[in-house]
Amino acid sequence: MTVSVADLSGELRSLRRGRGVAAPQLRERAGPALQTTFRISEGDDNSEVRRKITEGLLTLARTLPNDLRLAVLAALAMHEEAGHPFYQDRVRWLAHTLDRDDRTARRRIDEGMDQLAVLALGGVRSPEPEQPGRLWHTEELRVMVALDQPTPETFEFRRIVADTDHTSELDLALTLGAHGRGGRSSGSDLRVDVFYGGVLTARAMESSERVGLGLRLPRQLSRGERHEFALRFRAPFRYSHFVCVPRHPVDLFILHLRFASPAPVRVSRLERVFQDDARDTEVMGTQLTPDASGEVQAEFRHLTPGFAYGIRWSATSSTGAQTH
């Protein structure tokens, strides 16, 4: 059976009713999408079905942001403090724990269910063999952002690994807040300098906010070879966040932010959130505290392409950007 994200998400929403995964007749409640995803066979009894589903969901939930992980575990009665027999009682517990209203708690649950479905099917598909055309990936990305400058400056130090022979050019991008007429950005206020490791060969608007860049390497790389380069970006941002939304896998991403004085009161670490959710203050993250220099740092490992990782802060003036 071919399982879609919508199929699996719908069955997870159905499963949260009543006692969730603790339901006495879980075997009958597990639909075809759940059975396929968690490899439930006809001979599995109720306890074995519960074991496969709970172990699979717990493994997936560990990769979710803290608030979404709490939401799905509570909704499915998998959290030890939210073992209420009725779904509505678990929603109220979640709302109280997150210090939000019931409506927001339900929205967190729905979002968490959707992300669980995406993660589950991504794992089933084992995407690595399906990407034979991938040319390179990032082994280490270090980004330093100075927000205390008249125009924010970003320094990017990246080490990549060639995944095929004859790799000679990299496709990069930076997403900025739109400043132009009609909510579009021409990218003309973005300055890019290469400190070492290549030459910029292309620059074009890929969307209303995303600037695509081409970096030609000093020489062709063979499969498995590493290469390092450094860039500096200078541009006004629009949103109060900086996140990496990788196009290619990233093994390690270290982000260092320096705020202007006084530092923001609220700074959050965002991990594996949807790109549009990076600017949504309703999407919670782990709180960070700037040090005496107004600086914070966050580290992320094994980034999944298409998801956002980084830092969001509260500020009276909107600033923000994304690297890819």
Report the number of secondary-structure helices (H) and strands (E) in the chain.
Answer: 7, 14
pLDDT for the residue 95:
92
Which tokens hold the place of 67? 């608030």
Which tokens hold the place of 137? 């990936």
Following CA atoms 233, 266, 273, 309 in sequence, which dihedral angle do they give, to the nearest 10 degrees? Answer: 40
Q: How far apart are CA 242 and CA 278, in angstroms?
A: 8
Specify the length of the chain in residues: 324
Instruction: Assess whether the previous peptide bond of 262 is cis (omega < 30° from 0).
Output: yes
Whose tokens are 């896998």? That residue is 249
Strands lying side by side in the sheet with 191-196:
191-196, 226-234, 153-162, 136-146, 250-258, 295-303
pLDDT for the residue 315:
60
pLDDT for the residue 81:
87
Query: DSSP readout, 162-177?
Result: ESSTTEEEEEEEEEE-
Query: DSSP readout, 26-92?
Result: HHHH--HHHHHHTT--TT--HHHHHHHHHHHHHHHHTTS-HHHHHHHHHHTT-STT---SSHHHHHH
- Mean pLDDT per 10-residue segment, the chain (324 residues): 81 90 87 90 88 89 85 92 90 91 89 87 46 75 95 95 91 63 53 95 73 91 94 87 86 94 91 79 84 94 85 66 68
pLDDT for the residue 318:
43
pLDDT for the residue 188:
65
Model confidence pTM above 0.85:
no
Q: Which ranges constitute the DSSP H helices of the chain? A: 5-15, 26-29, 32-37, 46-61, 66-75, 87-98, 102-125
pLDDT for the residue 185:
44
Q: How far apart are CA 110 and CA 126, in angstroms?
A: 25
